[in-house]
Amino acid sequence: MIVMKFGGTSVGSAARIHAAARIVTAARATEEVIVVVSAVGGVTDRLIMAAQQAAAREEWAAQEQVTIVQRIHSEILEELALENAGSAVADALAGLFGELRSFVQSVAVLGEVTPRTLDYIAGLGERLSSRLVAATLCVGGCPAEAVDATRFLVTDTHFGEAFPLMDATRTRATATLGPLLAAGVVPVVTGFIGATADGAPTTLGRGGSDYSAAIIGGVLDATAIIIWTDVDGVMTANPRVVSNARTLPQISYLEAAELSYFGAKVLHPKTIAPAIEAGIPVYIRNSFRPNGLGTEIGRDSPPSREPVRAITAIAQLTLLTVQGKGMIGLPGVAARVFSTVAQEQINVFMISQSSSEYNICLLIEERFGVRAAAALGQTFERERAQGLIEGIALQNGVSIVAVIGAGMRGLPTAAGRVFSLLGRENIEVLAIAQGSSELNLSFVLPTAAADHAVRSLHAEFALDVAPDGAGGSYAANQR
């Protein structure tokens, strides 16, 4: 059995849904397939915006968003030309939109959206798209059924970024999806969402449909997980930033985890964990060019002439600095900084402490900056009053750039090349860190300089050139 996940662009129009259905139908001829779908591209953003507008008591604007989402789906449905099957799908969609509108109305009445309600609203896009995809498969002669992952993907109650409970999920997934597979039906499962043990819908975090595919593949022992997206695979850099970025034919789980964690949006950072655990290969392929080789992610990565495999970047971060001469020799300051931020459930991308110990810097998402600073202000209230800690400052508008590759292990020359290049290019570096895995070297810089840094580093390590000089054909040579 294989799991195939289709992203927002890959189900983004009637033509794309037909293309996805062709890919599934072809695979189905030789093996069992479970399909996982994202919402139609852009829909999740609109749903979240509707919830926020409703919470701000702008109900009219919120319902207008819903109307736009509704129009997007009815246009796709019409273009899909599902003939007789169309009206049942239209009914199913109408039911979901009815639910959505009443949720939006209640949020507007309360003037507040709880994380729990937000997850319900945000997760509706996948429930809509799965109906369209399943019906298209059926009409094309491939029996399929839309399945809401809320029926079997059990998570904790951390709304907005829920964590899957694998054992419960395995039991329920087997009971829910097993009979469908046995009956020759392709389950078309909603990505991104799950439900708590008592049935409250949750989401796995933005971009989480990749993670859904890996969870399902992991618990049901798939032989492969294929992520169908809108680029040829995992590339040496974001192709939207570096025009000559090259597709990596093969990378290791660890490299993929590092890449996605440091900003390669093509794969959700948590996707790799269930795949590693079950030893399942993950393939990233382009649904626009289904014959391309894509990227294979597995245990090993091919040797490479260059120590560096890829360059990534994340923007909209803030550098939070806790500063004070009084921190010298004051025991446990770093620990208190981290535990405060951890208590707020804020993810830290990077930490650096100056050797003089005058300051500790944390890199976090900009949207959490004020909350983190306030929490730290409370933690260190006494030290601040005593003048031991002078300030807690935020520097917004920064990015982290990471230089990634298994070949960097124990090779100090890569770091030398990175920093002399940045010096030559006059790129201001605000902080530096080397991942403990030694798979990456990352630094913080003003966002305005990030694209330039990524492009320069990509050129410095000649990442546009395939290691064997033959244009990205490593996997082909191995076969």
Report the helix count and the strand count for the chain, using DSSP H and E. Answer: 16, 17
Q: Site map for Mg ion, 204-243, x if CB under 5 A?
A: ---x------------------------------------
382 CB contacts (<8 Å, ≥6 apart)?
none
Residue 7 CB, nearest distance to Mg ion (Å)?
Answer: 5
Closest CA relative to residue 389, chosen from 316, 465, 333, 452: 333
Distance CA 235, CA 242 (A): 10
Binding flag, residue 234, ligand ADP (CB under 6 A): yes
388 CB contacts (<8 Å, ≥6 apart)?
324, 325, 326, 327, 330
Distance of CA 16 to the CA centre of its chain: 21
Binding flag, residue 8, ligand ASP (CB under 6 A): yes
Q: Site map for Mg ion, 188-207, x if CB under 5 A?
A: -------------------x
Q: How many residues bind ligand ASP (CB under 6 A)?
A: 12
Q: Which is nearer to ligand ADP, 402 or 444 (CB)?
A: 402
Question: In the block, which residue shows the tokens 């974001």?
Answer: 238
Question: CB under 6 A: which stretch of 104-112, 225-233, 338-346, 419-427 binds ligand ADP?
Answer: 225-233
Beta bridge partners of 359: 323
Determine which residue in the list 14, 24, 39, 433 makes contact with ligand ASP, applying CB under 6 A. 39
Q: Which is nearer to Mg ion, 241 or 465 (CB)?
A: 241
Binding flag, residue 209, ligand ASP (CB under 6 A): yes
Distance CA 396, CA 400 (A): 12
Distance CA 294, CA 451 (A): 25
Residue 251 CB, nearest distance to ligand ASP (Å)?
Answer: 20
Q: Which is nearer to ligand ADP, 63 or 260 (CB)?
A: 260
Residue 121 contact among ligand ASP, ligand ADP, Mg ion, none, beta carbon within 5 to 8 Å by kind:
none
CA dihedral 249, 204, 274, 477 (to 10 degrees): -10
Q: Which is nearer to ligand ADP, 372 or 463 (CB)?
A: 463
Please answer whether residues 415 and 407 qualify as being in contact, where contact means their C-beta atoms are separated by less than 8 angstroms.
Answer: no
Question: CB under 6 A: which stretch of 79-87, 174-182, 232-240, 471-479 binds ligand ADP?
Answer: 232-240
- What distances in angstroms separate CA 214 from CA 202, 263, 297, 456, one per listed residue? 17, 19, 12, 34
Q: Which is nearer to ligand ASP, 125 or 472 (CB)?
A: 125
Task: Count CA atoms within 13 Å of residue 165 on its CB side.
Answer: 15
Question: CB under 6 A: which stretch of 148-156, 234-242, 345-353, 388-396 binds ligand ADP?
Answer: 234-242
Question: CB under 6 A: which stretch of 37-45, 64-72, 132-140, 311-319 binds ligand ASP?
Answer: 37-45
Interface residues with Mg ion (CB under 5 A)? Answer: 7, 207
Interface residues with ligand ASP (CB under 6 A)? Answer: 7-8, 38-39, 44, 125, 191-192, 206-209
